[in-house]
Amino acid sequence: MMKKNVLVWIGSSLLSACITSPTGRSQFVFMPDAQVNQMGLDAFDTLKKEKKISNNSQYNQLASCISKAIVSEQAGSWEVVVFEDKTPNAFALPGNKIGVHTGMLILVDNQDQLAAVIGHEVGHVLAKHSNERASQEMAVSQGMAMIQAIGSPQSALGQTAFGLLGVGAEYGVLMPYSRIQESEADIIGVDLMAKAGFDPRQSIGLWQKMEQASQGQQPIEFLSTHPANATRIQSLEQHMPQAIALYEQAKASGKKPQCN
């Protein structure tokens, strides 16, 4: 009888762990949001201690202005930090944290392309991709020990934890999001930027520019963890009519960001 009750409890726990993503995809998300958010907060605090923060007022104003517009309809306040780092990279973490490298600010041509980057990264957070990855890790390994190791990013478990959050490359550990998660973040991100009044067509230009920047060289970090390819661009092109409709609605409602 007890064995039966245990099996029923396990079954109900697994069923309750199944949620639906913003795009309608079924996900296995087992960990409490509060726990994953705390992991994001701890990881961001570690990055701020170990990486140099930019004092460039123009960079900070640009990143903050675009991020504020992107997350304007999301709950809670978001912290935005520009890191002094020449690599073109950006990330968002659970707990409402956004990091942008100065290298990314130099690479993009306009505010819309940076909005595409930030929208994509926020899309990962809204779709709970970190929770999804951490839940899968907990289901097959020492999940709790990994969570506790977030304060020791140089350790093996700490590196795994940072990798699951999407910032493992900072410590030499590449743990790319899955193709499904990447595609999902693309769609969520392009809709977010369009709703904020940024031109979604620039998202395609961004990925093309990123690929061009890495041609003939070692693939740049952002593309190592966020692979850009013909399939991604094709998917964005297919979704573009819907995104442009959102963009036109945003402009009609007076949303015209002037972040440059």
Q: What is the DSSP string of 151-182?
A: G-TTSHHHHHHHHHHT-GGGGT---PPPHHHH
Question: What is the DSSP-derived secondary structure letter of residue 92?
Answer: E
Question: What is the DSSP-derived secondary structure letter of residue 99?
Answer: E
Nearest to 242 by CA among 192, 183, 184: 192
Q: Provide the b/e sequence for 180-212 (b: ≥16 CB within 10 Å).
A: ebbbbbbbbbbbbbbbbbbbbbbbbbbbebbbe
Average pLDDT for residues 118-146, to the nearest whole number?
77
Would you call 23 exposed, middle or buried from its count of C-beta atoms within 10 A (0-12, 13-18, 19+)?
A: middle
Nearest to 194 by CA among 128, 115, 98, 110: 115
- pLDDT over 50 (residue 67): yes
What confidence category does residue 134 fall into, taking pLDDT thresholds of 50, 70 and 90? confident
Give the pLDDT confidence score for residue 201 in this predicted structure: 97
Nearest to 44 by CA among 2, 108, 96: 96
What confidence category does residue 114 fall into, taking pLDDT thresholds of 50, 70 and 90? very high
Residue 229, CA distances (Å) to 49, 112, 236 in order: 34, 20, 11
Nearest to 115 by CA among 62, 162, 59: 62
Instruction: Write the pLDDT tens digit of every residue in 203-253.
Output: 999 988 887 776 655 555 566 555 556 778 889 999 999 999 999 999 999
- pLDDT over 50 (residue 174): no
Give the pLDDT confidence score for residue 224 in this predicted structure: 57
Nearest to 29 by CA among 15, 10, 48, 40: 15
- pLDDT over 80 (residue 66): yes
Arithmetic mean of pLDDT over the chain: 81
Q: Which of 13-17, 89-93, 159-163, 209-213 has the lowest mean pLDDT?
A: 13-17
- pLDDT over 90 (residue 59): yes
Q: What are the residues whose beta carbons fall under 8 Å from the beta carbon of 102, sequence distance 6 or more? A: 54, 56, 59, 82, 83, 84, 85, 86
More confident residue, 116 or 11: 116
Average pLDDT for residues 190-202, to the nearest whole number?
98
Whether 121 is a known active-site residue: answer yes
Active-site hit among 73, 121, 137, 248: 121
Average pLDDT for residues 178-202, to the nearest whole number?
93
Average pLDDT for residues 133-142, to the nearest whole number?
64
Give the pLDDT confidence score for residue 2 in this predicted structure: 35
- pLDDT over 50 (residue 8): no
- pLDDT over 50 (residue 3): no
3-state secondary structure of 206: helix
Give the pLDDT confidence score for residue 112 in this predicted structure: 98
- pLDDT over 90 (residue 20): no
Query: Side chain identity at 89, as an amino acid letter?
Result: N
Give, rounded to a whole angstrom, the gap between the first and last alpha carbons of the chain.
66
- pLDDT over 70 (residue 155): no
What confidence category does residue 10 fall into, taking pLDDT thresholds of 50, 70 and 90? very low
Say what the pTM is: 0.79
